[in-house]
Amino acid sequence: MSENYNVAENFGSMSFNEATMRQRLPKAVFKALKKTIDTGKELDVSIAETVASAMKDWAIEKGATHYTHWFQPMTGITAEKHDSFISPMGDGTVIMEFSGKELIKGEPDASSFPSGGIRATFEARGYTAWDPTSYAFVKDNTLYIPTAFCSYSGEALDKKTPLLRSMDAVSDQALRILRLFGNTTAERVTATVGAEQEYFLIDEKMYNEREDLIFTGRTLFGAPAPKGQELDDHYFGVIKQRVSDYMKDLDKALWELGITSKTKHNEVAPAQHEMAPIFESANLAADHNQLTMELMQKIAKKHGMVCLLHEKPFAGVNGSGKHDNWAISTNEGQNLLDPGATPLENAQFLTFLAAIVKAVDENADLLRLAVATAGNDHRLGANEAPPAIISIFLGEELTDVIDALVSGGKVKDKHVQFDIGVSSLPKFPKDTTDRNRTSPFAFTGNKFEFRSVGSALNIAGPNIVLNTIVADALSEFADELEKAADFKSTLNKLLIKTFTDHKRIIFNGNGYDASWVEEAEKRGLPNLKSTVDAVPHFEDAKNIELFKKHKVFSEVEIHSRTEILLENYSKVINIEALTAIDMAKRQIAPAVMKYEKEICDIIVSKKSAGISAAVEEGIANKVSTLTESLTKRIAELENDVAKAHGLTDMGELSRYSHDTIFAAMQAMRAVADELETIVPAEAWPIPTYADILFSVK
């Protein structure tokens, strides 16, 4: 990025955003499209031809020759099929055309994407449908059109469709509550998200010498480096020039696509960094985060580095999360999680807060499974991440307010009698308590920070769950309050009952402390430690009914996603196991045996000369014992992997993958990592943690 780069002038220049649409579309067409974007109303298809023509002309001016319907299948990453704008004229020439029909609908092959049994392999037809609420953009000489993806029979095969459904659900139910508080003008409530993104940068040469990083995204072997993060010297430290140059180029690429990259800094672990955007609608945030991850990896290559997005690429140092900052706001700009400045706003805020507390307590299993992946299992519960137990942090002052409400007493240190909707209700200042980085779900002044989300995860999943469970709690509140003869009295009783019934989910203490696990068990909170513990709960009767009620998932879609998540977990573990076997057999074991032979040759030579070889014999015996153990562990893991091929039930296979294959991998790794501490550096066949974590100078 040049020193005189004009951010304001270039921001969104590659995005067909609202400003561009206003400039290029007829006034009536822009007004109709804007209504769809702002309120979620159904698109007027009659305007599609005009929008398509303007979008095509703009894209060509930006250098585009092709267009693609950009979608998010259940693989968790994005998918695209490119078509050119060319249309033959019959005389050997072409013109550039793009119709409204091509804008609105595409037809990619759906047979090769995960469907969890919804589609048979021979049933190939699938459809993409334009999502006008997410701006189109130009990248790599191609017009990207954000779309939803569904099967021929109408089931959602993607992440976007249920996310949009969940946003409609929370909007509908939040509006019911707002009407009860006298708000008759708000037309839509939007879930907003700011997704912080943590990542590692390592030298590309080191990456290319590690088969495990190439195939799995994480190191399957590696003893701790002499120095890690103990001195806390990397966190917020001076950014190295090479990394700074990368961050500048990343910012430029993100800004031109209309992505509000705001914050960048070094994270806790060596070679770890973070980027954070400004919040926006959950749908845009999900699309933009997928783009961000893609560009992070692509731009790193240009700087001779590799960006690692795995949740735990290196054992023993911090893993990477993606803190999901979630709130809900009206189209008039009111953040419904802002405590407000007046008693009426306070009461409204407490109503939404109570709904969220209820939602999280009743659906902790869903929030846990929404962040469940093989990669995130390494991170949750580790010393830098929230535990697998879901709880809510509210802070001391807000907890005091709730306690006063429930008890009918006074707010501590305020000496104010608590009463809903009267002037004596205290004004809540923001950020009156310290942040709790050990909490999975923490209130941070005017939003909740869902800290359990993994760095590689598509954020659509967690936000689908958040939107839906909050919508459900709000709908129950609205059902009761709408028929109340005395609104104030009924609301007061409802809030007291809700906070009383669900107080167990509120925990302001240290989530890293082992005593919390015992305390959480006493409170009856679920502790779903692994993906295979969490995911099957998707099919619990209460969860099926919840998603069906709010039309977010059908029962068929839930079953398919459960199958896909468990299958993905098993495949990840299988790939990791095969990679570990290959590295252990073809790299580590031969190197160790060669070193063992060299030691033995020295022993023979010394003894022949009448010199003691006691030191060498001790090393040789230890290496020999560990090598024998490594060989045994390799054989055991190979046998375990072979047995897995006979398992066809995804629940059984995923459980076996976790309990047997993963455990065998860990046992083999322990032996290899000990050998690494003995074998000389020049004889060890792969770059070590010390080499990798400090490779970017």
- Characterize the bridge pairing of strands 86-88 and 82-84: unpaired
At residue 147, φ and ψ (nearest 5 deg) are: -140, 160
70 by DSSP, 3-state: which? strand
- Characterize the bridge pairing of strands 82-84 and 66-70: antiparallel
Least confident of 188-197, 404-413, 627-636: 404-413
Q: Which pLDDT does position 411 carry in this prediction?
A: 59
Q: Rounded to whole angstroms, how far apart are CA atoms 354 and 263?
A: 31
* DSSP 8-state secondary structure symbol assigned to residue 117: T
> Confidence band (pLDDT; 50, 70, 90) for 406?
confident
Q: Which two tokens mark 174? A: 């939040």
Q: Which pLDDT does position 674 carry in this prediction?
A: 98
Q: Which pLDDT does position 301 carry in this prediction?
A: 97
Answer yes or no: pTM beyond 0.85: yes
Q: Rounded to whole angstroms, how far apart are CA atoms 308 and 215?
A: 12
Q: Rounded to whole angstroms, how far apart are CA atoms 283 and 281?
A: 5
Write the pLDDT tens digit of every residue in 608-656. 999 999 999 999 999 999 999 999 999 999 999 999 998 999 999 999 9
In our burial notation (b when 16+ CB lie closer than 10 A, e otherwise), range 449-464 reads bbbbbbbbbbbbbbbb
Position 418 pLDDT exceeds 50? no
- Characterize the bridge pairing of strands 392-393 and 441-443: parallel
Burial class (CB in 10 A: 0-12, 13-18, 19+), 109: exposed
pLDDT, average across residues 389-395? 93
Write the pLDDT tens digit of every residue in 18-35. 999 999 999 999 999 998
Q: Rounded to whole angstroms, how far apart are CA atoms 78 and 72?
A: 4
Classify the C-alpha dihedral 561-564-566-572 as positive or negative. negative
Q: Which pLDDT does position 381 carry in this prediction?
A: 67
Average pLDDT, the chain: 91
Q: Evaluate whether 283 touches 163 at the Cβ level (below 8 Å).
A: yes
Classify the C-alpha dihedral 582-585-586-591 as positive or negative. positive
Between residues 428 and 446, which one has the greater pLDDT? 446
Runs of H (alpha helix) within 541-683: 541-549, 555-583, 589-608, 614-644, 650-656, 663-676
Amino acid identity, position 67: Y
Q: Evaluate whether 650 touches 566 at the Cβ level (below 8 Å).
A: yes
Query: Which residues fall within 8 angstroms of residue 569, CB to CB, at 6 or more apart?
Result: 373, 374, 531, 532, 535, 654, 657, 658
Q: Evaluate whether 454 touches 373 at the Cβ level (below 8 Å).
A: yes
Q: Which pLDDT does position 595 carry in this prediction?
A: 96
Sole residue written with tokens 């509000």: 260
Q: Evaluate whether 266 touches 240 at the Cβ level (below 8 Å).
A: no
127 by DSSP, 3-state: which? strand
Position 432 pLDDT exceeds 50? no
Q: Rounded to whole angstroms, how far apart are CA atoms 260 and 335?
A: 19
pLDDT, average across residues 132-158? 89
> Confidence band (pLDDT; 50, 70, 90) for 153?
low
Position 433 pLDDT exceeds 60? no
**Neighbouring-strand partners of residue 143:** 67, 138
442 by DSSP, 3-state: which? strand
Position 133 pLDDT exceeds 60? yes
Percent of the residues in the chain that have a pLDDT greater than 90, as a whole number: 75
Position 588 pLDDT exceeds 60? yes
> Confidence band (pLDDT; 50, 70, 90) for 106?
confident
Position 675 pLDDT exceeds 90? yes
> Confidence band (pLDDT; 50, 70, 90) for 274?
very high
> Confidence band (pLDDT; 50, 70, 90) for 403?
confident
Q: Which pLDDT does position 424 carry in this prediction?
A: 38
Q: Which two tokens mark 254? A: 């993100």
137 by DSSP, 3-state: which? strand
pLDDT, average across residues 292-299? 98
Q: Rounded to whole angstroms, how far apart are CA atoms 57 and 421?
A: 55
Sole residue written with tokens 């917020």: 236
* DSSP secondary structure, 207-269, as one string: HHT-HHHHHHSS-SS-PPPS-SSTT--STT-PPPHHHHHHHHHHHHHHHHTT--EEEEEE-SS
Q: Evaluate whether 373 touches 569 at the Cβ level (below 8 Å).
A: yes
pLDDT, average across residues 460-484? 98
> Confidence band (pLDDT; 50, 70, 90) for 413?
low
Q: Which pLDDT does position 272 carry in this prediction?
A: 96
User: Of 487, 667, 692, which Cα lies nearest the Cα of 584?
Assistant: 667
Residue 583 Cα distances to 212, 312, 496, 685, angstroms: 8, 19, 59, 9
Ordered domains of the chain (ranges, CATH): 7-157 (3.10.20.70), 197-320 (3.30.590.10), 567-693 (1.20.120.1560)
646 by DSSP, 3-state: which? coil
Run of H or E residues at 306: strand 305-308
Position 175 pLDDT exceeds 60? yes
Q: Rounded to whole angstroms, how far apart are CA atoms 352 and 478?
A: 11
Between residues 112 and 177, which one has the greater pLDDT? 177
> Confidence band (pLDDT; 50, 70, 90) for 511?
confident
Write the pLDDT tens digit of every residue in 526-573. 999 999 999 999 999 999 999 999 999 999 999 999 999 999 999 999
Write the pLDDT tens digit of every residue in 332-362. 999 999 887 665 568 899 999 999 999 999 9
Percent of the residues in the chain that have a pLDDT greater than 70, as a whole number: 91
Q: Evaluate whether 673 touches 223 at the Cβ level (below 8 Å).
A: yes
> Confidence band (pLDDT; 50, 70, 90) for 514?
confident
